Structure 1
């Protein structure tokens, strides 16, 4: 009886999976029946995709800056925090972006990046006084760079 119950559950799951796979095909049929029109500001679907991409990237950028300012705002004035963020080099920005892409791209990448961050954090905590001084010195230099540009 347990095997019949298990088979029934498996059949239901397979049917659900088939419905999920066939959903895009149904969407294409509905699109064809709708005269080929997509909903969006432009009748061109490529333009709508560009608009959506720009909107998402802009929203992400605004949210990232807000989080960065709030993290720095705990220890620095808003003016100095803004200078610090403005003073980052292009190579730092590209490195952080590349690490984020590796972390998001795959599970092994996420494990490697998060593992490296954990090791760095533990290393910094083991020599907290020196790490705090080095970090403050680096941020002070970044703030100087941000004020001059």
Structure 2
């Protein structure tokens, strides 16, 4: 018995020649030809859940950092933190829903982007009154965030 025959018995379908065929296409990818990095757990579903939690937490931290950075340019970092804390659950859910609509499809991105463009043009058209309304809303959010 040759070495090739012995290997074919141990790993059938991975050795060409007598007793087996080489994996092709998708099966070759699933055969694990590249190096494998073990996850924290031996259970694949546990690793998937851990990765999902890590990605969501990282996304939330990144989102808060960006929001604080954008608000901090005009209002100051302390007031920006208060504004972010002062948001209602409804405002957070609406923002999340709009982001999902915009990222899941091209028509959704066009719709959400068009709405944001229209709101920006509307605010620029109304100039000082829109600026005063915006500043009043930001101040109200900051006061609400300071109470919490």
User: What TM-score, normalized by structure 2, do the two folds share?
Assistant: 0.78
**Counterpart Cα distance in 1 of 2:144 and 2:31:** 56
Provide the residue aligned with 2:27 in structure 1.
Answer: 25
Could you say if the C-alpha distance between residues 128 and 38 of structure 1 is closer, same or farther in structure 2, counting changes exceeding 3 Å? Answer: same
Q: CA RMSD in A?
A: 1.7
Provide the residue aligned with 1:133 in structure 2.
Answer: 132
Matched residues, number: 123
1:70-81 → structure 2 map (5 Å cutoff): 70-81=69-80
Given that residues 38 and 45 in structure 1 are in contact (C-alpha distance below 8 angstroms), is that contact kept between their aligned partners in structure 2? no
- Between 1 and 2, higher relative CO (CA 8 Å, sep ≥ 6) is seen in 1
Question: Structure 1 unaligned runs (5+)?
Answer: 1-21
- Which runs of 4 or more aligned residues in structure 1 lie more than 6 Å from their structure 2 counterparts after TM superposition? none
Point out the structure with the larger helix share: 1
User: What TM-score, normalized by structure 1, do the two folds share?
Assistant: 0.77
Provide the residue aligned with 1:17 in structure 2.
Answer: none
Structure number with larger C-alpha Rg: 2
SS in 1 for 2:80: helix
Question: Structure 2 unaligned runs (5+)?
Answer: 1-24
SS in 2 for 1:30: coil
1:31-42 → structure 2 map (5 Å cutoff): 39-42=38-41
Q: Deviations over 1:63-106 (max 9, x none)?
A: 11111111111111211111000000000000000000100111
**Counterpart Cα distance in 2 of 1:27 and 1:38:** 15
